[in-house]
Chains A and B, each alone.
Chain A
């Protein structure tokens, strides 16, 4: 089942307390101009594309909302040059995999995007075997 949740403040506070702090994006750019940390969002969707290229990996998901409409969302992740060091590979998130992502939402009006601060499988387990559920956007 795919879900689309918005502004689940309490859940987000729990998420951020779990990861300690909202981490900065990558060395490439500041997150503030693109994402609003006061508007966190969590989505669950099906992977349609995972672009594992520098300066930022990007994850594209088909997300179905409460009305049954499906739309593509774009999730910005960290730099592959950093992610590789902690075990990430281009095959980590295959097409068809269901994942949950949480993070600040895109600032542009109507944009379907977010900065991935927390990424898990649908059941909440880490996407990386033996890994943590956080740090898809590790420190620069």
Chain B
């Protein structure tokens, strides 16, 4: 256990033995009521389930601030195709939908320097981001997205393997700033984001890889970490305000009239 990490109140995450006990209890209960085993199959091997639960700080205590060269540095900067380069030509900062409170999405939201809370349930993992009040659900029960399951955060499925949580997210809507708005790189409905989360000591790590054949010639990837939130920290409501979000747009000298 980590003294300065805020814990979820669920007993299932307070101690590995307790977690195993609860998982077994859930398994027995599930068998008793006749639900399919697939819903808990990914959870039953306790050695493969990392403890990711808690509130995590992705701010400057944990990693460099995001910007034009972070997390996409020269060494891992995405190789853009001609379509992406053309989009960059017409890109202007104020076209980004965030100026109308559209939330950040993958792969940007994972690197935003805010807190996030992770909750692990037997059939899903919940990522709640303080920035933009976003909640992502990672389904562990084997379900697949329907053809119409598109959204800003896409549709995420995952499983535990080798002490890590592996996530694949598809069904993103097109976003003119969906890869990275600091560099004006869009993303398409063919974007696929793969995430791998694991613990190293007190810290939570992620390696994130993006594929998008509409705009990228090859997958692009970064690795970063969160540190435990300070004791007692609770996520605050963001409640993006449309007027405040757009207030500075009039200070931008647009080349378009």
Q: Which residues of A come within 8 Å of B, CB atoms? A: 24, 27-30, 33-35, 51, 53-58, 74, 76, 81, 84, 106-109, 111, 113, 139-140
Contacts and interface: CB of A to CB of B under 8 A. Distances in A.
A56 B65 contact: no
Interface string B106-138: 000000111000000000000000110000000
A101 to B, nearest CB: 15
Interface centre among A27, A84, A108 (most CB of B within 10 A): A27
Given A29-B93, A54-B240, A24 B248 contact: no
Contacts of A74: 247-248
B252 interface: yes
B93 A107 contact: no
Interface in B65-96: 65-68, 92-94, 96
Contact of A54 (B66, B94, B238, B251): B238
A55 B99 CA distance: 9
6 contacts: A30-B67, A51-B243, A54-B239, A54-B241, A58-B244, A108-B252
B98 interface: yes
Interface of B: 59-60, 65-68, 92-94, 96, 98-99, 101, 112-114, 130-131, 181-182, 236, 238-241, 243-245, 247-253
B176 to A, nearest CB: 14
Interface centre among A55, A57, A58, A111 (most CB of B within 10 A): A55
Given A33-B93, A76-B248, A81-B130, A107 B253 contact: yes
Contact of A53 (B130, B182, B239, B249): B239
Contact of A58 (B60, B238, B239, B247): B247
A73 B99 CA distance: 20
A30 B182 contact: yes
Closest 9 CB pairs of A and B: A53-B241, A106-B251, A33-B93, A140-B113, A53-B244, A34-B251, A139-B60, A27-B112, A34-B248
A33 B96 CA distance: 12
Given A29-B99, A54-B241, 7 more contacts: A27-B114, A29-B98, A33-B93, A33-B252, A55-B238, A56-B248, A107-B252
A93 B211 CA distance: 46
B132 to A, nearest CB: 8
B251 A28 contact: no
A53 B113 CA distance: 18
Nearest to B60: A139
A81 B251 contact: no
Contact of A30 (B68, B240, B244): B68
